[in-house]
Structure 1
Amino acid sequence: MIKVKVGLRPIVSKINLPTVLKTAILPGDTIEKLFIATQVGEIFCIGNGMIGTFLDIRPRILKLGVSGGGYDERGLLGLAFHPQFYYNGLFYLHYSVAGTQGPGALPGAFESFKPNPCDPNTLNLKWINREIQYDHIDTVEEWILQSNGQPQKRRTLLHLRRPFLNHNGVNSLNFSPETGKLVLTTGDGGSGYDPFNLSPDDMEIAGKIIEIDVAKNTYIDNPPVVTRFNELPVPIQETLTVIAKGVRNIPGISYQRFYNQYIKYVGNVGQDLVESIFSFIHYKPIPVTRLVQGTLINSEPDQEGFINFGWRGWEGAFPTSIIRGCSANSTLDEKTIAYYDEAVKTSVQRLQPLISYFHNDPRPDKFGATALTGVQPYMGNRIPELSGSVVFTDLARNEESQPPARGVLAYTRVRTDGKLNDFSVIETDYNFGSQSAYYVSLGTNLDQTRLYLGVYGSMKVADFNQGTVFEIVP
């Protein structure tokens, strides 16, 4: 892969942590504007060198950074504009609801759960008492930009109860250019190692990619709070299809036009070994009504064409492992397969990743990863070396070096033979000085000819106003 060097041009700075970067044309307008959603609940609109507030839902959002020592993965996580937004003013939000804080599904176990292959109890935990043992509630809502320019909520599509504060997905809403449906990407519910095995379970909403037919009106304005598909009222079930399962945590789905079809890209955030990017063209979504009928008559629906990323048995291209320090040699690590039976069971059904890149990588031109934060195709020609490639961001280099932290920009391409590909780091010329620079989000304009990068000066959402959004330029 050829070496690429780019510039970063600041567009706006001193904002809160940016979770979504995308463009739209406002009704009655002629130019595309950049919309920036922040984790705490603001949506800014930038165009003609002006920045304005499009919407501020901070009062609707859970108080962030309280339970995780300032770190949090909840908040305003998804923003998508209807394909006909210019005409109908419809847009969609996914966020964590104020006042819904619970004790957690395994109180005190946020990120500390580790399976023990010698103790079957740790391999077969069940999420019980879900009505009281949960962390928070997420909502997916439809809003409309009224003719007076004021956004107003129209209806709630889903209320989802989440077990832990992490792995709720981010940049979690998009519209499919193939089906015209709203696509929701959810994480596995959190902690570490998916303690309740929600991701591969067909009935669990966690750990899935779901299409929502927003053209169908369910006439249910306030749907019940659920965790499983079979708890949804039938009119809501009828609007949902499932594209994929086996998701751990996901920075959205993106689409790249390839002749008369679309390549889909999905990043799956790793556990301890690797970060992975998957690509696929063909898939057969399964209607939720069919999944529910399958459980009623205790038969597994035909999964041919159903995309499975393999979690929790597989972490990208590898069986999910637990890393322990070697007692005899502190410089070495022992890697033990965490869920052997599940790795065997899903070994054939799962999709192979396009790339997996490592948390530890001794190769001189690579880097040690932390967490994948964005995946976007680039179809522009202003940076010709990147044209037609897939650009991705990682939160921060994991090398054992001194702070300040630095995020990573890199790219890969789809191979026509379908085999695993390599990737190359993209060098940037921007000087962040002594400030930390975590790369927290990646976005694009409507025709994917411009790329936007969200950078934050802290890992903690409660450290306010440390964000800058850049355009990636030649």
Structure 2
Amino acid sequence: MTHSPPGRDGQQRRRNSSRRRFLQVTAATGAVASISGVSVAQDDEDNETDDSDASDSQADEVVTDGPTIGLELVGEGFTSPVGFEVAPDDEDRYFVVDQLGQIHVLEGASNGDGGPLQLRDEPFLDVSDRMVEVSGGTGEFDERGLLGLAFHPDFQENGRFFVRYSAPPSEDTPDDYDHTAVLSEFTTADDEHSTADPESEEILLEVPEPQFNHNAGAVVFGPDGYLYVPLGDGGDADDTGLGHVEDWYDENEGGNGQNTTDTLLGGIHRIDVDADGDGDRPYGIPDDNPFVDSDEGFDEYYAWGLRNPWRVSFDSEGNFYVADVGQNLFEEVNIVENGGNYGWNVKEGIECFSTEDPGEPGDECPSSTPEDVRGGEDLLDPVIQYPHIVDGETLGISITGGYVYEGEAASELQDMYVYGDWSRGFGSPDGSLFASPVQDYEPSADRSEDDLWDIQELSVSDAPNDRINRFVLAFGRDHDDELYVLTTARYTDGETGEVWRIVPEGEGETIEPHENAVGSEEEDEEEADTEDGEDDEIDDDAAGDDGMDNETDNESVDGAGNESGDVGNESVDDGADNESIDDGNASVGNESDE
């Protein structure tokens, strides 16, 4: 459906409105699952499927060599950059979302002809005073923070934009919950839209988050003019524990991903920010959302069955790519459609998932819900999947979603979906860059390994071992459809965050490992003076995060999400998971993993 948002002369009306919707979640009781993190060793047997045994020959074919690219440094001095956005009809400004709470502005020409981009002295917006203190100010791994930014399609006329961040618990937050996921609207302070008005905030959604991770965090306008808001499953491992409700699948405990009536966690939500809502809802609901005029789920739902969606994007054909951080075994990318159920926690990727033994694919599981659950919908499989471990070597632990390349500079990437993984390990920055040739897509609940898209690993020219040697937190896209990679060499402290433009081989920088990286010799010398055991505590706690997994989302160590970053990068996984930043219950949540 094509939707043209109506004009919005009533912006002041919206700004003056104090309405907000607090989606109270049903607090699940029970112990919180322990966070095992990415440091947990896994045997090759853990990655075997019940019918294929993941033979060596198959493992060799999981990822093949792809094109070689260059990377041009266009911005630095950030801490944990988890988002890169451009505003409509604003050709020479690039907005970088830093997990600690700032939206920074890079200024200059997008095609590189105008010299390096310049970082503006003052941020466009700073919401750090409304957020939780990311990692408690210690610089350790965290998936919370400022996680997403989207400009209204008519930004030049109305100055409206939308952000996702992690706020402290409120008086309405259930006991023992970690934070509140907030979706807010802001406007700019002047007609030139040079800076934001921090006093213009209107909170659209507040979602209680039981755990610090699996927050997702991206927000994006679709080609229909509606705002899409992914939420993670609430964090912790297995989609179980505090803040996780029951679902229809009795074989597994949990979980939020399959429950659409008691929680918004574990789904993607679509709202109309140009329409007035009913009652205390400060937004409208698109008429074709799947549960409109139904008692089978919240009106906001667009899709569900997701763990920690760390970074999402639309291509020019309107296909909606959602990278979902996995737990112990697999990372995945889905093409998401209206009303789709993407399987978590019944499945992890195309394999069955067991809460009793998450390190081994389940022997069997359903490929659809029962008829009495939303009519018996299919559990749709991803188009891309890769295991964490191949032939005893770690391939990745927390996926970071990207974009279909539709630019001109790096022609070798044309019509490929470009994405990455936060890192091969938690203790040092070792992210990967991947690309998959786009194929025709048909929804399927019975996809085999042969049906999955090919995965190619991109080589970085002029870099040691052809790798980026950073945590890969997120990707960005400019007005010319050229792509950017956002990285950091630490977690949530320092100024190692960088923004790189993807350019042809031989046209980028010489990239050495960052001198101030986590695990570097310099840092090791400093840590030698700390008390015995402190390092182990940090490793254990952080590894429990599956995700910042990238989100920070990926992912990221996104702290925000990427499971590694989902700031996730979104990326490291929590609790035995590899996710990126996740959020919480029945509300909107973030990108990292457990």
TM-score between both structures, scaled by the size of structure 1:
0.74
- Residue in 1 aligned with 2:216? 169
Distance 1:9 1:412 in 2: 22
Aligned-residue offset at 1:358: 1.0
Distance 1:390 1:68 in 2: 36
Residue among 135, 147, 150 paired with 1:80: 150
Number of the residue aligned with 1:335: 360
Q: Is the 8 A contact 1:24 1:32 kept in 2?
A: no
SS in 2 for 1:440: strand
1:3–1:424 contact (8 Å) kept in structure 2:
yes
Q: How does 1:392-471 map to 2 (within 5 A)?
A: 392-398=419-425, 404-416=428-440, 418=442, 419-431=451-463, 437-447=470-480, 449-458=481-490, 460-461=491-492, 463-471=493-501
* 1:15 lines up with 2:78 in the alignment: yes
2: CA distance between counterparts of 1:334 and 1:57? Answer: 39
Distance in 2 (CA, whole Å) between partners of 1:420 and 1:436 is: 28
Matches within 5 A, 1:71-470: 71-97=141-167, 99-100=168-169, 131-147=174-190, 149-152=194-197, 153-170=200-217, 172-177=218-223, 179-195=224-240, 196=244, 197-203=255-261, 204-218=263-277, 241-258=300-317, 262-280=318-336, 283-284=337-338, 306-321=339-354, 335=360, 337=362, 345=369, 349-362=378-391, 368-398=395-425, 404-416=428-440, 418=442, 419-431=451-463, 437-447=470-480, 449-458=481-490, 460-461=491-492, 463-470=493-500
Would you say the 8 A contact 1:136–1:163 is kept in 2? yes
Q: Secondary structure at the match of 2:157?
A: helix
In structure 2, relative to structure 1, the CA distance for the partners of 1:222 and 1:62 (3 Å cut) is farther
Length, aligned pairs only: 386
**Per-residue CA shift, 1:119-161, capped at 9, x if unaligned?**
xxxxxxxxxx962131111111111113264422241110110
Query: Counterpart of 1:294?
Result: none
Give the aligned partner of residue 99 of structure 2: 39
2:319 aligned partner, one-letter code: I
CA distance in 1, matches of 2:235, 2:428: 27
Relative to structure 1, the CA distance from residue 140 to residue 65 in structure 2 (aligned partners, 3 Å threshold; closer, same or farther) is: same
1:33 Cα offset (Å): 1.8
Q: What letter is aligned with 2:231?
A: T
- 1:322 touches 1:337 (CA, 8 Å); kept in 2? no
- Larger strand percent: 1
Aligned to 2:119: 51
Q: Which residue of 1 aligns with 2:569?
A: none
Q: Secondary structure at the match of 2:144?
A: coil
Structure 1, 190-199 or 373-382: larger mean CA deviation:
373-382
In the superposition, relative to structure 1, how do residues 353 and 12 fare at CA in structure 2: closer, same or farther (>3 Å)?
Answer: same
Q: Percent identity?
A: 27
> 1:296-320 CA distances to partner (integer Å, 9 max, x unpaired)?
xxxxxxxxxx111100111111112
Q: Distance in 1 between matches of 2:279 and 2:77?
A: 40
**What is the alpha-carbon distance in structure 2 between the residues aligned to residue 417 and residue 435 of structure 1?**
31
| Aligned-CA RMSD value | 3.3
Aligned to 1:121: none
In structure 2, the partner of 1:124 is: none
Q: Which whole-Å deviations, capped at 9, do the CAs of 1:327-364 have from their partners, x for residues lacking one?
A: xxxxxx972539x667774897111111101100129x
8 Å CA contact 1:254, 1:376 repeated in 2: yes
**Greater relative CO, 1 or 2 (CA 8 Å, sep 6+):** 2
Query: Which whole-Å CA distance do the structure 1 matches of 2:86 and 2:305 have between them?
Result: 30
- Gaps of at least 5 residues in structure 1 are 103-128, 224-233, 285-305, 325-332
Aligned residue type for 1:353? P
- Between the aligned partners of 1:36 and 1:417, the Cα distance in structure 2 is 32
Can you list the C-alpha shifts for 1:143-202, whole angstroms capped at 9, x where unaligned?
A: 1113264422241110110110000103x100001x201110110010111102011101
Taking the aligned partners of 2:359 and 2:316, their CA distance within structure 1 comes to 43
- Tell me the SS of whatever aligns to 1:199: helix
1:337 aligned partner, one-letter code: G
* 2:260 partner letter: D
Q: Is the contact between residue 397 and residue 425 of structure 2 (CA under 8 Å) also seen in structure 1?
A: yes
Point out the more displaced range, 431-440 or 140-149: 431-440
Task: Give the C-alpha shift of residue 395 in structure 1.
Answer: 0.4
Compared with structure 1, are the counterparts of its residues 239 and 93 closer, same or farther at alpha carbon in structure 2 (3 Å cutoff)?
farther
Distance 1:255 1:359 in 2: 26
